[in-house]
Amino acid sequence: AGPRILVSACLLGQPVRYDGSAKTLQHPLLQHWQQNGWVVSLCPERAGGMPTPRPAAEIANGLSGRDVVAGHALVRDTTGADVTAPFLDGAQAALALAQQEGCTVALLIDGSPSCGSLMIYDGSFTGQKQAGEGVTAALLRQNGIAVFAPADIEKLAASLSSF
Ligand code: SF4
């Protein structure tokens, strides 16, 4: 048995993003991990009960996923609806699956209010990015799972060298 890697479903070509698209990552490392059966796929927002398509959402007031997990921040969509509960449900589902499948690392799409690990949007829906992490990325990290963005896939690979 090798390592197990939780991967954002949209990176694997599943059209689950808010706008109905995928964000397929064509990378030989990811292909190799899939061929080895190391990849566990999940979309936290779909797992949290949200449909595709759905309105875009951002963590409010320039806060981060850690603040949402701690109950200090909300997630809102472009209609103004509070979607914090499904985002938290999705993060819990991702953590439960990762633990059940023995995932010690995750490769998640950056910029997402769920999956972002380096940057997220600032809550103003004006396209402004800031350093920060999404709700799922925060909960996984708080539980000892290392989260990497696609830009850092080589770092993720290096972290697997013990296998
Ligand atoms: Fe992709 Fe994560 Fe957004 Fe789902 S929640 S569409 S897996 S970035």
Q: For residue 72, what is the DSSP state?
A: S
pLDDT at res. 1: 75
Question: Measured between alpha carbons, how far is 161 from 120 in angstroms, rounded to an integer?
Answer: 29
* Per-residue tokens: 11: 């990176």
Q: How many CA atoms lie within 13 A of 41 on its CB side?
A: 13
Helix (H) / strand (E) containing 93? helix 84-101
What distance in angstroms lies between residue 76's CA and the mean position of ligand 1's atoms?
Answer: 16
Closest ligand 1 atom to 18 CA: 6
pLDDT band at residue 163 using 50, 70 and 90 as cut-offs? low
State which ligand 1 atom lies nearest to the alpha carbon of 90: 5
Measured from CB, residues less than 6 Å from any atom of ligand 1 are: 8-10, 16-17, 43-45, 109, 112, 114-115
Residue 96 host element (H or E): helix 84-101
CA 48 to chain centre: 12
Q: Measure CA 154 to chain center.
A: 18
Ligand 1 atom having least distance to the Cα of 10? 1
Query: What pLDDT digit, counting tens, does each position of 107-136 carry?
Result: 999 999 999 999 999 999 999 999 999 999
pLDDT of residue 53: 98
ipTM score over 0.85, yes or no: yes
**Cis bond upstream, residue 53 (ω within 30):** yes
The yes-or-no verdict on residue 161 having pLDDT over 90 is: no
State residue 162's pLDDT score: 64
The pLDDT of residue 62: 98
Mean pLDDT, range 6-13, rounded to an integer: 98
> Residue 23 is encoded by which pair of tokens?
């964000």
Q: 47-103 pLDDT, tens per residue?
A: 999 999 999 999 999 999 999 999 999 999 999 999 999 999 999 999 999 999 999
